[in-house]
Amino acid sequence: MRKILLVDDEPWLTDGLVAALESRGFQCLKAMDMTEGVKALMEHTISAVVTDIMMPPGTAFRKTESSESGFHLIEYIQKNWPRLPIVCLSVIADQAKIRFLKKRGVRYLRKGETPLSTAVEVIVAVAEGRIVRLPS
Amino acid sequence: MASPTIPGNDAEELQRLRGEIAALRLELEETQKSTTQYLQNVAHQLTAPLNAIKWNIEAIKDEKIPIPRKKSLLSSIYSQGTILVHLIKNFSLMSNLEADHELGQFRDQPEIISPLRLAINQTGDFQPQATESSKKLEVRMLTFDRVFGDDSLRVVKNLIAQALSNLLENAIKYSYTGTTIYVEAITKEMDGESWRGISVVNTGFPISAAEIGQLQNRGFRGNAAKQKIPAGTGIGLYLADKVMRLHGGVITANAKGSETRITLLFPPSRIVRQAVRSDP
């Protein structure tokens, strides 16, 4: 079964997303901070990562600023698992930051504005390799 | 045209005033910055549960999701609704409290309530939130029997309920996964009198001694709290403190390692020797 890793410090906010992905044959793993996310990546074979931006860094990345830890996680993943597709699910409005994500081949879905059906479609396509990472 | 000459003393005064204006301008910029940050936080606090509700409703309409799963999504919607109501009540309470209303100016008047029933009711409201975060909430009933016996509290029920809710919400947010949050009654000797109160005890991110004294300040959030939950309003304990002061009581905070105890303490004048028959 394909696994999708969701990294969000408020996991109950993605209950609907998890239910929709699981009903489409994916197993969802939840991590509540950057440290838990990296640990899950080391222990499982993951098809796609869905991450928030503002979240606690956790014990292994204490010096990371919590308002930016999602960006650090993305950089860390792309350095260590360069082929792993990443979707950013957050509420960032800063265009420079959104451009940064695009440049790194990360799909950005805005929480609260993206319908669940669209989010599921994008995440499933990314996890199945139908949407590939854009070259940085 | 030649610029007018300013006598020595006036020039010094002008210089001093310029310095003062520069300092005030800096202070204003800082205030505006923190207000923007605060409003952004508040907006996040309000929109996050609404977004969760929207997605849960969409998921419930999804035919691929099995019915038992939809039932748990309904519980999640209920839980998010509770969070929203609680938040909105806090903002409404803040406007009343900051207008320096006296207890008698509130719509609700003090009434006699059972501290145990109050603890049970508020804890029940937060049970789904605790369960979703893999934490347990437990009221230590024997402590209430021991401390209050048949005695009751004469307070504005909704205000005290909101203060206790704020304590519970913080405890759920900032405690470690898999731990139990206890609600218990305690007695404390203050100024030669016996005060009684309701404590919320949790095990989680430690609060430093320096931070303890600032917890009741409006907008203050401890370092560990900010690292763990980046978004937060920092008004929960501030409001609880104001509510307690209105009742002539206090809020106390103690931290020992990873255990934090926050207590709503009532003076003897709020304790009534009378049992309550109806629900609080």
Closest CA–CA distance from residue B55 to any residue of chain A (Å): 5
pLDDT on residue B277 = 60
Which of A17-21, B2-6, B60-64, B108-112 is least confident?
B2-6
Instruction: Output the average pLDDT for chain B.
Output: 85
Helix, strand or coil for residue B231? coil
Confidence of residue B4 (pLDDT cuts 50, 70, 90): low
- Partner-chain contact A23 B73, CB within 8 Å: no
With an 8 Å Cβ cutoff, the interface of chain B facing chain A consists of: 44, 47-52, 54-59, 62, 64-66, 69-70, 72-73, 76, 79-80, 132-133, 177, 226-231
Does residue B66 carry a pLDDT above 80?
A: yes
Question: How many whole angstroms separate alpha carbon A22 and alpha carbon A61?
Answer: 30
pLDDT on residue B228 = 61
Does residue B99 carry a pLDDT above 60?
A: yes
Question: Hey, what amino acid is at A133?
Answer: R
Q: What is the mean pLDDT of residues A115-131?
A: 92
- Least Cα distance to B246 among B64, B67, B120, B99 occurs for B99
Does residue A42 carry a pLDDT above 80?
A: yes
Q: What is the mean pLDDT of residues B90-103?
A: 75
Which of A11, A12, A54 comes nearest B231 by C-beta? A54
- Whether the pTM exceeds 0.90: the reply is no
Q: Which of B40, B227, B229, B258 to mutate to test the interface with A (most CBs of A within 10 A)?
A: B227
Confidence of residue A136 (pLDDT cuts 50, 70, 90): very low
**At what angle are helices B8-61 and A15-22 packed, to 10 degrees?**
30
Q: Is the CB of residue A16 less than 8 Å away from at least one CB of chain B?
A: yes
Does residue A135 carry a pLDDT above 70?
A: no
Label each residue of chain A as H, E or C: CCEEEEECCCHHHHHHHHHHHHCCCCEEEEECCHHHHHHHHHHCCCCEEEECCCCCCCHHHCCCCCCCHHHHHHHHHHHHCCCCCEEEEECCCCHHHHHHHHHCCCEEEECCCCCHHHHHHHHHHHHCCCCCCCCC
- Partner-chain contact B73 A19, CB within 8 Å: yes
Q: Could you please report the per-residue DSSP string of B142-200?
A: HHHHHHHTT-EEEE-HHHHHHHHHHHHHHHHHHBPTT-EEEEEEEEEEETTEEEEEEEE
Does residue A121 carry a pLDDT above 90?
A: yes
Question: Hey, what amino acid is at B187?
Answer: T
Which of A111-115, B4-8, B185-189 is least confident?
B4-8
Q: Which letter, b or e, does each residue of B128-160 get, where b requires 16 or more Cβ atoms within 10 Å of its Cβ?
A: bbbebbebebebeeebbeebbeebbbebbbebb
Tokens 């940064």, residue? A100
Chain B contact set for A56 (CB, 8 A):
227-230
A12 against A122, higher pLDDT: A122
Does residue B280 carry a pLDDT above 60?
A: no
Which of A43-57, B36-50, B79-93 is least confident?
B36-50
| Nearest chain A residue to B62, by CA | A20
Q: What is the pLDDT of residues B178-198, one digit of tens each?
A: 999 999 999 999 889 999 999
Ramachandran region of residue A121, left (φ > 0), alpha (ψ -120 to 50) or beta?
alpha
ipTM (interface pTM):
0.88
Q: What is the pLDDT of residues B114-166, one digit of tens each?
A: 999 999 999 998 888 888 788 999 999 999 999 999 999 999 998 999 999 99
Percent of chain A scoring above 70 in pLDDT:
96
Ramachandran region of residue A64, left (φ > 0), alpha (ψ -120 to 50) or beta?
beta
Question: How many whole angstroms separate alpha carbon B179 and alpha carbon B184?
Answer: 16
Closest CA–CA distance from residue B164 to any residue of chain A (Å): 22
At a CB cut-off of 8 Å and minimum separation 6, what does B258 contact? B176, B203, B204, B205, B206
- Locate B130 and state its tokens: 């605790």
Chain A contact set for B79 (CB, 8 A):
12
A window 23-82, beta carbon within 8 A of B: 23-24, 32, 54-57, 66-67
| Nearest chain A residue to B49, by CA | A13
Question: Hey, what amino acid is at A131?
Answer: I
pLDDT on residue B43 = 79
Confidence of residue A49 (pLDDT cuts 50, 70, 90): very high
Q: What is the DSSP letter of B270?
A: G
User: Apex CA B209: angle with CA B127 and CA B232, to 5°?
Assistant: 45
Q: Which of B39, B40, B47, B55 to mutate to test the interface with A (most CBs of A within 10 A)?
A: B55
Question: How many whole angstroms separate alpha carbon A68 and alpha carbon A81?
Answer: 20
pLDDT on residue A133 = 54
Q: What domains, with CATH codes, occur in chain B?
A: 11-98 (1.10.287.130), 109-273 (3.30.565.10)
- Partner-chain contact A20 B64, CB within 8 Å: yes
Question: How many whole angstroms separate alpha carbon B18 and alpha carbon B12?
Answer: 10
Confidence of residue B69 (pLDDT cuts 50, 70, 90): very high
